[in-house]
Amino acid sequence: MNIDCPLPADIEDTIRLGHGSGGELSQNLFRNYIYPYIKNPWLDQAHDSALLTIKGSQLVFTTDSFVITPLFFPGGDIGELAVYGTVNDLAMSGARPMYLSCSLILEEGLPLNTLKRIMASMGRAAAQTGVHLVTGDTKVVERGKGDGLYINTAGIGVLEHEQEIGPGAIRAGDRILLSGDIGRHGMAVMASREGLSFDTSLHSDCAPLHEPVRDLLAAGIQVHCLRDLTRGGLATALVELANARGVSVEVQESAVPIDESVEGACELLGLDPLYVANEGRFVVFVPEEEEKAALDILRCHSVSAGSQRIGLVTATGRTGVILKNSLGCERLLDLLQGEQLPRIC
């Protein structure tokens, strides 16, 4: 009897798409299989980027990978998504983005004109945001093993202020400001991928966020925390921050703007827009007395013109995010379970 035939691995012992969702499975992956082996004070910052002090200078360092399909989607493409996404991670730490790397993993058979369009897009996005692509790498994998093109980026920025910005600075009473309507990116990519059409066109919100953040800081606004809303959407970001700081958060459902086209697409596909990814939206935690001034600045920028307060931090020592509707009913938000929309960023 041949006893060498391999047995199928238990699904619980293998990577699933949900491990890339940014939700509960992702957190388990980090907590049990990654962080224990590379634990250090910089990872403990639990921020979009790591704050590094080198010979008196405060630098911010981040990295990201982009595996979106399709490569071109309504409102953007993988090239500008890679630049904006990395710039936004630096901006969410309060840093001025300066330098990026670009590592390309190309699949055999990718049309060179496609690569040319994507690199031109990256160049335009870099010029728009004032960063420089200063180093990189290129690898080619066999046909059928690369899905066209993957991009990995890393970014370096510099802190030019004395503020502490991160989950550790969140305080009870902080107001939570949202920069605009949610869910556009995830639904635009999904509609394009699946060939869905709606009465109104869906376009991604893919955009750089460094300018409104820069102006908040230049005006001396006390910014306690910033977070861009990517995988897992608004709900996952708020739950992550509440858990990281150990605070209770209350959000008014009626204050969260959702475009009718996004709402309709979510209803059709059975998705919760609170968990759908964005690539041009962020939340800001500020003290109550800073709310009006912060909103006035945010609303001066087209990318955050729809800013409004959606909730507040109600207490420390208790962890949770409560969504209240217009009837006063409450719903406890949790991390995204499984994967709603894979391969969208």
| pLDDT surpassing 70 at residue 3 | no
**pLDDT tens-digit series, residues 219-264:** 999 999 999 999 899 999 999 999 999 999 999 999 999 999 999 9
pLDDT at 226: 97
* Residue 262 Cα distances to 188, 191, 273, angstroms: 8, 10, 7
Residues in contact with 229: Cβ distance below 8 Å, sequence separation at least 6, in sequence order = 182, 237, 277, 278, 281, 282, 283
**pLDDT tens-digit series, residues 258-275:** 999 999 999 988 999 999
Share of the chain above pLDDT 70, in %: 96
**pLDDT tens-digit series, residues 278-292:** 999 999 999 999 999
Mean pLDDT of 16-32: 87
Asked if residue 60 lies in contact with residue 158, where contact means CB atoms within 8 angstroms, the answer is yes
Which ranges of the chain does DSSP label H, i.e. alpha helix? 24-29, 35-38, 78-91, 112-129, 184-194, 210-218, 233-245, 260-269, 291-298
Asked if residue 152 lies in contact with residue 105, where contact means CB atoms within 8 angstroms, the answer is yes
In 3-state terms the chain splits into helix, strand, coil percentages (rounded to 5) of: 35, 25, 40
Asked if residue 121 lies in contact with residue 77, where contact means CB atoms within 8 angstroms, the answer is yes
Mean pLDDT of 182-194: 92
Q: Is the pTM of this model over 0.95?
A: no
pLDDT at 259: 94
